[in-house]
Structure 1
Amino acid sequence: MLNKDLLTKLSAELQTTYDCHTAILYGSRARDDWDAASDIDVMAFRDAGGPERVASQWNGLFLDLFVHATNDEADPSWIRIHAGRVLFQRGAFGDDVLTKVHAQYTAGPEQIPEAEISIRMAWAAKMLRRAAKGDAEGDYRRHWLLFSLLEDYFAARGRWYLGPKQALRTMEDMNAKHCEVFKMALKPEASLAAIEQAIAATFELTEARL
């Protein structure tokens, strides 16, 4: 997490510059598994001014701030603040937001139909073939495929995707073999065969159902 002095400065910044009455720290800084390159991720709320996105350097760190109106309703994207920590709040506003988000998290994401999973499997195979071209477009599709596979791994299993850091840790707990496959596929020098194995791991459960 941030040290007490920085937390005090951050809270003051959010209150004076953005007129926020509540702020929730989330991500690696809230979980306390951050490193020197980690962002400061904050969701904050205010009565007037409407929603605002702020992405900037702040005290030598990168601040990723989402400001919402007080009456904004939680949507699935708010899952990212699951297990967040209230920096300051009006009444119990922040605690109530986290309670609602926890309920969403516990309920799980909307299940993707098997037909859609089949489409994603076919898309992944197509992208792998195009990645084999070896030109700039092929390299782009290679990166696009890898980006999508990690999210699809969790979607295929009816699990929330909470960003790469948490996703890879959760995958290691769920299936260490699959995690090793992904680690190999994500290496800059990875072969297309390694990426093909990541595709197979991503849709392994789905293939068993079809």
Structure 2
Amino acid sequence: MENRPEPRAALPEALAADPPLARLVNELCLRHGCHTVVLYGSRALGTATAESDWDMLGIREGGEATRDARLVDGVFLDAFIVPESGVVGAGASFLHLRGGRAVRDPRGLGARLLDDVAAALASPPRPVAEAEIAARRAWCHKMLGRIRRGGDADVEANYRRAWLLFDLLELYFVFRGRHYLGPKESFRFLAAEDGPAYEAFSAALAPGAPTSAVEALVARVLSG
């Protein structure tokens, strides 16, 4: 028999100190049958502002993976709902949970998942085949050539420019055998560890940046 969602009174007493968080945890339990909820992102790391998203992972016994994204009292809730089978031993697939907190965890599954995430981060990412690395490098050159030929009025060239700029951040880390942890953490890393790359991204991403700035960024990314 499928477990029924637990009522508000069954939520951990520790959540009483944070009514907005307690409300969202309760809603994930009631709406989706979650027994475990992990809070991550700036709200878990202690760097949130009043406008910061509520980033959450809800785990339930079964069912399909889904997403609950909506405004709650003017703040965005972004909750991923997954079955237990999708998280067991899958820490490498949930690196975005780094620094998270299992705010409801009656079975200890959230804590185990966070331990798996920490272990995955402590190890290098799975190697990318040399042929795939070569293909991605060739793709960067191909895109850059199309951008050069297109000109400012070529909508396809401008689309490819945006596409290339978006992918280059992750490719920087792929080419160096490092975990890619999203834009916020990645730019923080670059600012601290690779100033020239940070400046190259800043120049290429600036509104109205010349194609030469994109070329310089591609050269920097491919130097890894």
Report the TM-score when normalising by structure 2.
0.84
The answer to whether 1:174 aligns with 2:188 is: no
TM-superposed deviation, 1:117: 2.2
Q: Report the more deviating stretch, 3-12 or 21-30.
A: 3-12
Where does residue 11 of structure 2 map in the other structure?
none
Shift of 1:35: 4.5
Amino acid at match of 1:45: I
Unaligned runs of 5+ in 1: 206-210
Determine whether 1:159 maps to 2:175: no
- Cα distance in 2 between the residues matched to 1:16 and 1:105: 32
Q: Does 1:4 align with 2:23?
A: no
**Pairing partner for 2:80 from 51, 54, 66:** 66
**3-state DSSP class of the match of 2:164?**
helix
Match of 1:32 among 46, 54, 66: 46
Counterpart contact for 2:91–2:114, Cα < 8 Å: no
How far does residue 38 in structure 1 lie from its aligned partner after superposition?
3.6
- Per-residue deviation at 1:8? 1.4
| Aligned position for 1:138 | 157
TM-score, length of structure 1 as denominator length: 0.89
- Measure the CA separation in 2 of the matches of 1:91 and 1:65: 20
1:44 Cα deviation from its structure 2 partner = 1.1
Q: What secondary structure sits across from 1:71 in the alignment?
A: helix
SS at match of 2:94: helix
Partner Cα distance (1:108, 1:37) in 2: 34
Structure 2 CA distance for partners of 1:177 and 1:111, relative to 1, 3 Å: same
Give the partner amino acid of 1:55: A
Over the matched positions of the two proteins, sequence identity in percent amounts to 38
* 1:50 Cα offset (Å): 3.3
Post-superposition CA distance 1:16-70 (Å, at most 9, x none) = 2212111111122222333465422111111143322222222211221111112
Contact 2:43 2:53 in 1 (8 A): yes
Whether 2:60 is the aligned partner of 1:46: answer yes
Q: Distance in 2 between matches of 1:61 and 1:194?
A: 36
Q: What's the RMSD between the two structures over aligned residues?
A: 1.8
Q: Report which stretch shifted further, 58-67 or 142-151.
A: 58-67
- 1:83 has 2:99 as partner: yes
> How many pairs are equivalent?
203
Larger of the two Rg values belongs to structure: 2
Structure 2 residue 127 is matched with structure 1 residue 102: no
Return closer, same or farther for 1:199/1:108 CA change in 2, 3 Å cut-off. Answer: same
The answer to whether structure 1 residue 127 and structure 2 residue 135 are counterparts is no
